[in-house]
Amino acid sequence: MNYADFYRRSIDAPEQFWDDEAALIDWNTPYTQVLDYSHPPFAKWFVGGQTNLCHNAVDRWCATQGDKPALIAISTETNTERTYSFNELRAEVERCAAMMLALGVGRGDRVLIYMPMIAEAAFAMLACARIGAVHSVVFGGFAANSLASRIDDAKPVLVVSADAGSRNGKAIPYKPLLDEAIALASAKPAHVLLVDRGLAAMSRVDGRDVDYATLRAGHLDARVPVTWLESNEPSYILYTSGTTGKPKGVQRDVGGYAVALASSMKYNFCAKAGETFFATSDIGWVVGHSYIVYGPLIAGMATIMYEGLPICPDPGIWWSIVAKHQVTRMFSAPTAIRVLRKQPPEFMRRHDLSSLRALYLAGEPLDETTSQWIADELGVPIIDNYWQTETGWPILSIAKGVEDVPTRLGSPGVAMYGYQVKLLNESTGAECGPNEKGVVVIEGPLPPGCMQTVYGDDQRFVDTYWSTFDGRTVYSTFDWGVRDADGYYFILGRTDDVINVAGHRLGTREIEESISSHPNVSEVAVVGVADKIRTQQAVAFAIVKDASRIATEEGRSALEREIMGVVDRQLGPVARPSRVYFVPTLPKTRSGKLLRRSIQAICEGRSAGDLTAIEDPASLQQIQRALEN
Ligand code: AMP
């Protein structure tokens, strides 16, 4: 099929297009309207239709391939590997669903999942989907304050967690962080369900904390029928960083998401039921939701959940998994590939990778060197794809399942079906011509699978993401981009104060707020600085209250470590700045706005830009001096 025609149809006749796509999933009750866009920018897909994500991911396949692998949970941290067939997965999900019901979880209730990459995390997500509870998975690398703000926003009735995660063989206790978060939060969950892997001792709160294995033992034969949900009921909330310190709860629906995943599995990932998909992300991120848990299963594929580092026990570990489980489609992030490129190539070459058909990379810009290197090593297409937590599936890529159009180095590809992507001039709102830099926007309605709203705050959804130009309502991605004459886009970085560290999105405001809580910090600026491996690294510039503490090299180092410790404890090591520099002043505009971009430019050895608006030009020299010392 010709991709240009396929795409055009999705834009010119979206209702017909998505009506056809909706046949990829099972509906218990057919929808009465494909799209209701009577209240823009809120789009309702498949109105009146009843379906269920868990049914489509699990039960549906039990009928035809119940004994085939569904979930393969591999941990090189605990040296365990367990394969669950679709039938076994359904049994575990039904047990978990019964446990949740026993703990009082009902349809529409929120369940917060704070877990390492273990099978029970997938059981819990699917169990929520089964009974119509709304899960909110919080990345295990986040710490107490991050967790507390998400608990207060989602107000979960239940938290599912574990004794500990593990990294490089070292247990990372989760329970103390969770207890601290619940103590900080005002919305206290009624219950905490805890998987105990025996990695770290746990204290338990009587009446609140429940042991997973013990409760499971009482529900071994549980049968929990699927709760059919109206397509627009919420399926989950996933928090993501923005320009303010308060994370946004990206809320997704049920039917639109299932259809979008089924389509993207077919057209982007060329899925075949019975084959194996391996996404190396974490369930705490959107890739984990879409392409570890739901997407592959909805397509009838086995999915691999991997707990561990890409280089332990050796840098060949991922490739040994590909060989052993005959992985056909793999999904990772450029940072991981850059890390692997630094390792001796023998580790990769010793495995038989003939099953692999393509490698998909997303989350951050894919540089040409990395792309070329991995393409040469693997001998399969490397397919970049650009999207966001908000959209749930690729905005830009190459849909090889529709037509084998060539990829272009440095470009994530062309607009994906359903997305009316435009580039707008930042100041005038006019559409950009070829090779002209603009803001990447999507004209409404957003296609199925994209966020419905910001959880609990429709106004924030409208105010944050939407603007109107020439009577057209557009969604901003907050990314700069250019498009060449053939429609290939190139992403040039964020327009806002969000940074990208190893494919993880972090808000500089959140990190600044955390650092400011140190008693000796009066002001701080955090910027993202280009990094060869991890795309960006967070770097902080702080003004201290008591300068005597930074009079010596030892004093400076000690304070820097303390500040990093504060970020570790509050937000988690994922948000820790790589350096904290101390400066007497920070560059600001006359109206007092921090000039983060000028600081970033200096850090990257570029010109600080137009300095007419700056209050105190000497502050930039102080940044330079701090970097040199
Ligand atoms: P997240 O919501 O955490 O997935 O982050 C989304 C952001 O990551 C986007 O807005 C981009 O800034 C960046 N991003 C994601 N995928 C790509 C890609 N393939 N190329 C360049 N940047 C990307």
CATH code: domain of residue 563: 3.30.300.30
- Domain contains 61: yes
In-domain check, residue 497: no
Q: How far is the CA of 380 from the centre of ligand 1 (A)?
A: 23
Residue 427 has pLDDT above 90, yes or no: no
Asked if 118 and 202 sit in the same domain, the reply is yes
Distance from the CA of 451 to the center of ligand 1, in angstroms? 16
Dist. CA 450–CA 102, nearest whole Å:
32
Judged against a pLDDT cut of 90, whether residue 470 lies above it is answered with no
Residues 554 and 430 in one domain: no
For the CA of 500, the nearest atom of ligand 1: 8
Ligand 1, atom 3, residue with closest C-alpha: 505
Among 433, 447, 385, 445, smallest CA distance to 411 is for 385
**With DSSP H G I counted as helix, E B as strand and the rest as coil, what are the percentages for the chain, rounded to 5?**
35, 30, 40
Predicted confidence (pLDDT) at residue 47 exceeds the cutoff of 90: yes
Alpha carbon of 187 to ligand 1 centroid (Å)? 32
Co-location of 7 and 81 in the same domain: yes
Is there a single domain that holds both residue 39 and residue 159? yes
Which residues constitute the domain of residue 442? Answer: 3-308+385-465
Measured in angstroms, how far is the CA atom of residue 15 from the centroid of ligand 1?
28
The residues, ordered by sequence, that sit 6+ positions from 125 with a Cβ below 8 Å of its Cβ are 113, 135, 137, 236, 283, 289, 293
Please tell me whether residues 452 and 529 are part of one structural domain. no
Residue pLDDT, tens place only, 316-343: 999 999 999 999 999 999 999 999 999 9
- 509 and 555 in a single domain? The answer is yes
SS3 of 100, please? Answer: helix
Which position has the higher pLDDT, 609 or 514? 514
When mean pLDDT is compared across 16-20, 94-98, 533-537, the lowest value belongs to: 533-537
Same domain, yes or no, for 553 and 408?
Answer: no
Please check whether residues 430 and 515 belong to one and the same domain. no
Judgement on whether residues 9 and 152 belong to the same structural domain of the protein:
yes
DSSP type of residue 290: I
> Rounded CA gap, 280 and 288, in Å?
8
Q: Whose CA is nearest to atom 6 of ligand 1?
A: 388
Closest atom of ligand 1 to 504 CA is: 3
Select from 465, 482, 513 the last residue of a domain: 465
609 has a pLDDT exceeding 80: no
Q: Is the pLDDT of residue 173 over 80?
A: yes
Give the Å distance between the CA of 313 and the centre of ligand 1.
29
The residue among 524, 532, 542, 465 whose CA lies nearest residue 501 is 532
The rounded mean pLDDT for the chain is 95
Residue nearest atom 21 in ligand 1 by C-alpha distance: 365
For the entire predicted model, the pTM comes to 0.93
pLDDT tens figures, 189-204: 999 999 999 999 999 9
134 within some domain: yes
Once rounded to an integer, what is the mean pLDDT over residues 124-152?
A: 96
Residues with beta carbon inside 6 Å of ligand 1? 240, 286, 362-365, 384-389, 412, 477, 479, 491, 494, 500, 505
Which ligand 1 atom sits nearest the alpha carbon of residue 385? 19
CATH number of 251's domain: 3.40.50.12780
Residue 417 belongs to what H/E stretch? none
Opening angle at CA 185, ends 179 and 190, nearest 5: 70
Note the pLDDT tens digit of each residue in 388-403: 999 999 999 999 999 9
Compute, in angstroms, the gap from residue 387 CA to the centroid of ligand 1. Answer: 6
Are residue 450 and residue 510 in the same domain, yes or no?
no
In which band, very low, low, confident or very high, does the pLDDT at 273 lie, cut at 50, 70 and 90?
Answer: very high
How many angstroms does the Cα of residue 252 sit away from the middle of ligand 1? 18
Query: Domain for residue 345, yes or no?
Result: no
335 part of a folded domain: no
Pocket test for ligand 1, best of 479, 498, 508, 534 (most atoms within 8 A of CB): 479
The set of residues, in sequence order, having a beta carbon less than 8 Å from that of 308 and lying 6+ positions away, is 74, 75, 76, 77, 317
Distance 386 CA to ligand 1 centre (A): 6
Domains contained in the chain, number: 2
Closest C-alpha residue for ligand 1 atom 18: 386
Residue nearest to atom 4 of ligand 1 (CA): 388
CA of 362 to the centre of ligand 1 (A): 7
Residue 552 counted as domain residue: yes
In a domain, 356, yes or no: no
Last residue of a domain, one of 447, 465, 483: 465
* Residue 262 falls inside a structural domain: yes
207 and 304, same structural domain?
Answer: yes
Is there a single domain that holds both residue 518 and residue 578?
A: yes
Q: Given pLDDT bands bounded at 50, 70 and 90, which one contains residue 310?
A: very high
Cα–Cα distances in angstroms (integers) from residue 471 to residues 421, 447, 476, in the given order: 16, 20, 15
Of the residues 138, 290, 386, which should be mutated to test ligand 1's pocket, given the most ligand atoms within 8 Å of the CB?
386
Q: Tens of pLDDT along 348-383?
A: 999 999 999 999 999 998 999 999 999 999 999 999
